[in-house]
């Protein structure tokens, strides 16, 4: 029950919850300067997407390196761009990560990337739901956002995901959103949609 508690921040003698809180100078975030989340497909042929996005945006550090203290403990990392991968690189599968990372770091940018010859372009949402039902006798149609289950048309899927992020309570309203198409053979990244809120008090 308590086997691994010594590895938790909350059990450290010096622990102070405010040290991790996003505001009040947010000291934890000084050791990991995360600002951008990239959502992409876990297809291994698309594994260069985070680097391609970092190069495109500029002013990002990826992959970065660990920062060690005198004892060799990993107390930080220089990376600014974090990747979330899932089937198809869909926004719906990354909402928990966006909300969680905003607590620790204050997320500034969220980028969705869909890629050429993605497996998610090989079926429709209803094909997936129907086959799953026939094969496993289980209903998944009501668990997920229907249009997030497959990619029928790239521009539509990228715009759908940026819209889903913009309308989600899990994504702070000041966050800048980008949608890209990535061609896996050439490595070319093309910006399809950009949704940058007018800069307000929270910027
Ligand atoms: Zn894919």
Give the pLDDT of residue 26.
Answer: 62
Q: Look up the pTM and report it.
A: 0.93
Those residues whose C-beta lies under 8 Å from the C-beta of residue 133, and which sit 6 or more positions away, are 139, 140, 141
Are residues 190 and 180 in contact, defined by beta-carbon separation less than 8 angstroms? yes
Give the pLDDT of residue 28.
Answer: 81
Give distance in angstroms: CA of 186 to centre of ligand 1: 16
User: Taking the CB of residue 120, how many other CB atoms lie within 10 A of it?
Assistant: 21
Give distance in angstroms: CA of 174 to centre of ligand 1: 29
Give distance in angstroms: CA of 184 to centre of ligand 1: 10
Give the pLDDT of residue 203.
Answer: 42
User: Taking the CB of residue 169, how many other CB atoms lie within 10 A of it?
Assistant: 8
Give distance in angstroms: CA of 83 to centre of ligand 1: 14
Give distance in angstroms: CA of 119 to centre of ligand 1: 5
Give distance in angstroms: CA of 191 to centre of ligand 1: 17
Give distance in angstroms: CA of 99 to centre of ligand 1: 24
Give distance in angstroms: CA of 146 to centre of ligand 1: 17
Q: What is the pLDDT along the chain (203 residues), one digit of tens a residue?
A: 678 999 999 999 989 888 888 776 667 888 999 999 999 999 999 999 999 999 999 999 999 999 999 999 999 999 999 999 999 999 999 999 999 999 999 999 999 999 999 999 999 999 999 999 999 999 999 999 999 999 999 999 999 999 999 999 999 999 999 999 999 999 999 999 999 998 754 44
What is the gyration radius of the CA atoms in the chain, in angstroms? 19
What kind of fold does domain 32-120+151-195 have according to CATH? Beta-carbonic Anhydrase; Chain A (3.40.1050)
- CA distances (Å), origin 60, targets 3, 63, 81, 195, 201: 38, 9, 6, 19, 24
Three-state secondary-structure class, residue 43: coil
Give distance in angstroms: CA of 41 to centre of ligand 1: 5
Give distance in angstroms: CA of 139 to centre of ligand 1: 23
Domain ranges within the chain, ordered by starting residue: 32-120+151-195
Are residues 173 and 198 in contact, defined by beta-carbon separation less than 8 angstroms? no
């Amino acid at each position: 029950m308590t086997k691994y508690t010594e590895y938790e921040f909350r059990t450290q003698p010096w622990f102070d919850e405010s040290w991790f809180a996003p505001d009040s100078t947010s000291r934890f975030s000084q050791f990991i300067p995360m600002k951008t989340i990239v959502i992409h497909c876990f297809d291994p042929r698309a594994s260069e997407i985070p680097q391609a996005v970092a190069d495109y945006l500029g002013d990002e550090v990826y992959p970065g390196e660990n920062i060690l203290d005198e004892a060799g403990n990993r107390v930080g990392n220089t990376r600014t761009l974090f990747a979330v991968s899932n089937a198809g690189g869909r926004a719906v599968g990354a909402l928990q990560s966006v909300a969680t990372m905003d607590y620790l770091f204050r997320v500034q940018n969220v980028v969705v990337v869909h890629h050429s010859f993605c497996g998610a372009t090989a079926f429709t949402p209803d094909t997936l739901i129907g086959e799953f039902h026939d094969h496993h006798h289980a209903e998944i149609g009501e668990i997920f956002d229907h249009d997030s289950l497959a990619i029928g048309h790239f521009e539509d899927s990228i715009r759908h995901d940026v819209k889903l992020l913009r309308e989600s309570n899990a994504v702070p309203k000041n966050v800048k959103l980008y949608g890209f198409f990535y061609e896996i053979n050439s490595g070319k990244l093309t910006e399809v949609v950009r949704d940058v809120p007018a800069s307000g008090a929270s910027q």
